[in-house]
Amino acid sequence: MNSASPTLVERPPVVAVLGHVDHGKSTLLDFIRKTNIVAGEAGGITQHVAAYEVVHPVKADVRGTGKSKRITFIDTPGHAAFKTIRERGANVADIAILVVAADDGVKAQTLEALKSIRDAKTPFVVAINKIDKPNADLSRTQRMLLEQNVFLEQLGGDVPWAAISAKTGAGIDELLDLILLVAEVQELKGDTSVPAEGFCVEANRDKKRGIAATLIIKNGTLESGQFVRAGRGIAPVRIMEDHTGQALKRATFSTPVSLIGFDELPDAGSVFHTHDSKRKAEDARNADASLKKAAVQISSEENPDLYLMPVIIRADTTGSLDAIEMETAKLGDEHRRVRIVQSGIGTISEDDIKSAIAAGTPPVGGPANVFGFNTGIERVAEAFARERGVAVETFDIIYKLTERLEELLKKSAPKRAIETVVGRAKVLKYFSSRHDEHVIGAKVLDGELRKKGSVRIVRRDAILGKGKILNLQANKQNVEKVETEGEFGAQIVSEIQPSPGDVLECIESSTE
């Protein structure tokens, strides 16, 4: 791109706000935007990625021009379930703000956010928040950051930082000045003459308006009459709004816009491109097969003993659905897992209930459970679910949903037998046999062997078969057990004849 081009101009920075839950990220944005988003979030936890644009009156920028400038903010959730969304936010952003509470210091999710920032190689500014709290300890917080190799300016490092109170507004002007200073140093540029491209940071399905996506333009210009392709989704640039809901005919770089009318739900985090016709957008979609989202399924054929609990999930946005799928993948173990047989954005429908019934055919048992996150259920679907005995539950906090999934998984998974090795012995001598009863001499290697105990006969690390100890003798006396290093004689019933050198593993069985 030619740096002398008249269409190549300064671009406003896109800023991601990251940090630990409850450290004041959304409250900070509330103060900047003079709105109240926190009150509308379940549990006071931000559950979505949202983008907002603000104008900051700068006293004097790096070049001393002293004019107001635009900043686009991405509010990223702090809850652990949204790790991938935070990483996505850091990758979309030009600059990150790492928010750390002065009364709480560096926490686990602070470190996760810091890793996301560093992995994305995103320049960042530290905002030490809640300095208005009586127990705020600025020096302690600075030391904790230093321990994580975050070297702050004026303290021997080069990371810009500001002490702020998102509640009172103290220090926020200085923080915004720092953001614009970092942006100036980066020399962010955009070309207004090319078709717009950027990222889809969120998508949702509205019953009245259809599929809408929040887009961040990183370069170029988006105008009415064009077509946007984001992942598999294509939309005409017809109904376009800014973050306040005002209609737009034209938008350029760093501006967050809501575009309505996609034919398929775009993947949150996907790159979007602009085309001058629908045909070109469709051709590009068909040609780029790699944009198709891979559906990773757990195969019960690979592990026939694996129990898969089928569930159907509906969420309000793709970001929420991503987080739920990520958390669901963590549940269970190698013997039991949750399998999402159907998922999507929008209200729970009659089709979801029918899919739940179909997913519950033998050998699984009853219908699959249906879960909704920040979404409701259609009346017809609700009546049909009651009639057919399909359980439908809705949640507005992610970890409550995953806790319920974990509880159901433990209840529904079939009991399985667990064998625990309590002792091992090496066969030293084979004496005699009568039908399937064998008399041997052996020595305990570790643990203990017990009378009436079950044993596995192992030869060269391969299990040949099983048996049972009918009788044990040590020092010519009948005994109930023999412990480590003890030599003994035993009468064992088994279809397999033990041989010198074989190992007997004494096992206990239980169910889980």
Among 130, 159, 188, the domain boundary falls at 188
| 230 φ, ψ (degrees, to nearest 5) | -130, 110
Together in a domain, 408 and 421: no
Residue 100 has pLDDT above 60, yes or no: yes
Q: What order do you get walking across the sheet with 369-373 strand by strand?
A: 336-345, 307-315, 369-373, 392-395
Say how many domains are in the chain: 4
Give the integer Cα–Cα distance in Å for 355 and 349: 10
Together in a domain, 36 and 162: yes
Together in a domain, 43 and 177: yes
CATH of the domain at 357: 3.40.50.10050
Residue 58 has pLDDT above 80, yes or no: no
Query: Strand ranges (DSSP E) for 264-381?
Result: 271-275, 307-315, 336-345, 369-373
Together in a domain, 58 and 154: yes
In three-state secondary structure terms, 32 is helix
pLDDT of residue 90: 62
Give the integer Cα–Cα distance in Å for 403 and 195: 45
Residue 378 has pLDDT above 80, yes or no: yes
The pLDDT tens digits of the residues spanning 423-475 come to 999 999 999 988 899 999 999 999 999 999 999 999 988 899 999 999 999 98
Mean pLDDT, to the nearest integer, of 152-162? 92
Give the integer Cα–Cα distance in Å for 87 and 77: 11
Pairing mode, strands 369-373 and 392-395? parallel
pLDDT of residue 435: 84
Report the mean per-residue pLDDT for the chain: 84
Look at residue 365 and tell me if it is in a domain.
yes
287, two tokens: 């040609």
Among 232, 256, 291, the domain boundary falls at 291
- Give the global pTM: 0.59
Mean pLDDT, to the nearest integer, of 372-381? 92
pLDDT of residue 365: 61
Give the integer Cα–Cα distance in Å for 259 and 241: 7
pLDDT of residue 38: 46
The pLDDT tens digits of the residues spanning 475-505 come to 889 999 999 999 999 999 999 999 999 999 9
Look at residue 499 and tell me if it is in a domain.
yes
Amino acid found at 414: P
Together in a domain, 277 and 312: no
Look at residue 298 and tell me if it is in a domain.
no
| 120 φ, ψ (degrees, to nearest 5) | -85, -5
Which comes out higher in pLDDT, residue 384 or 418?
384
Give the integer Cα–Cα distance in Å for 486 and 483: 6
Together in a domain, 159 and 50: yes
Mean pLDDT, to the nearest integer, of 153-158? 89
Q: Please state, as a whole number, how many other Cβ atoms lie within 10 Å of the Cβ of residue 108.
A: 10
Look at residue 356 and tell me if it is in a domain.
yes
Mean pLDDT, to the nearest integer, of 343-351? 87
Task: Say how far residue 458 (Cα) sits from the centre of its chain.
Answer: 43
Place of tokens 């074989």: 502
Together in a domain, 183 and 53: yes
> Per-residue DSSP letters for 43-79?
GG---S-EEEEEEE--S--TTS----EEEEEEE---S
- The conformation of residue 132, written as its DSSP 8-state character, comes to T
**CB of 115 closer than 8 Å to CB of 168:** no
What residues contact 68, with CB distance under 8 A and at least 6 apart? Answer: 55, 56, 57, 58
Look at residue 3 and tell me if it is in a domain.
no
Place of tokens 């090496």: 426
pLDDT of residue 291: 36
> In three state form, how does the secondary structure of 196-222 look?
CEEEEEEEEEECCCEEEEEEEEEECEE
Mean pLDDT, to the nearest integer, of 258-272? 86
The percent of residues in the chain predicted with pLDDT above 90, rounded, is: 46
Q: Please state, as a whole number, how many other Cβ atoms lie within 10 Å of the Cβ of residue 509.
A: 9
pLDDT confidence band for 59 (50 / 70 / 90) = low
pLDDT confidence band for 92 (50 / 70 / 90) = confident
Give the integer Cα–Cα distance in Å for 409 and 111: 31
pLDDT of residue 361: 52
pLDDT confidence band for 41 (50 / 70 / 90) = low
Enclosing domain of residue 370: 307-412
Q: Please state, as a whole number, how many other Cβ atoms lie within 10 Å of the Cβ of residue 151.
A: 12
pLDDT of residue 282: 86
pLDDT of residue 84: 60
pLDDT of residue 66: 57
Give the integer Cα–Cα distance in Å for 197 and 148: 35
Mean pLDDT, to the nearest integer, of 290-309? 52
Together in a domain, 180 and 88: yes
- The conformation of residue 37, written as its DSSP 8-state character, comes to -
Least confident interval from 1-15, 155-169, 365-379: 1-15
Residue 72 has pLDDT above 80, yes or no: yes
Least confident interval from 17-26, 164-173, 285-294, 310-319: 285-294
496, two tokens: 């397999």
Query: Strand ranges (DSSP E) for 323-452?
Result: 336-345, 369-373, 392-395, 417-434, 437-450
Among 351, 377, 412, the domain boundary falls at 412
Look at residue 301 and tell me if it is in a domain.
no
Together in a domain, 287 and 331: no
According to DSSP, the residues that pair with 205 across neighbouring strands are 211
Together in a domain, 285 and 360: no
Element holding 351 (H helix, E strand): helix 350-359
Look at residue 2 and tell me if it is in a domain.
no
| Maximum Cα–Cα distance across the chain | 102
Q: Please state, as a whole number, how many other Cβ atoms lie within 10 Å of the Cβ of residue 361.
A: 12
Residue 301 has pLDDT above 50, yes or no: no
Together in a domain, 434 and 405: no
pLDDT of residue 8: 82
pLDDT of residue 457: 94
486, two tokens: 């003890």
Residue 265 has pLDDT above 80, yes or no: yes
Look at residue 364 and tell me if it is in a domain.
yes
Q: Please state, as a whole number, how many other Cβ atoms lie within 10 Å of the Cβ of residue 40.
A: 11
Q: Please state, as a whole number, how many other Cβ atoms lie within 10 Å of the Cβ of residue 268.
A: 27
144, two tokens: 């904790």
Together in a domain, 148 and 199: no
Residue 302 has pLDDT above 70, yes or no: no
Amino acid found at 156: G
The pLDDT tens digits of the residues spanning 190-208 come to 898 999 999 888 888 877 8
- What is the chain's length? 512
CATH of the domain at 457: 2.40.30.10
Mean pLDDT, to the nearest integer, of 39-62? 61
Mean pLDDT, to the nearest integer, of 331-340? 86
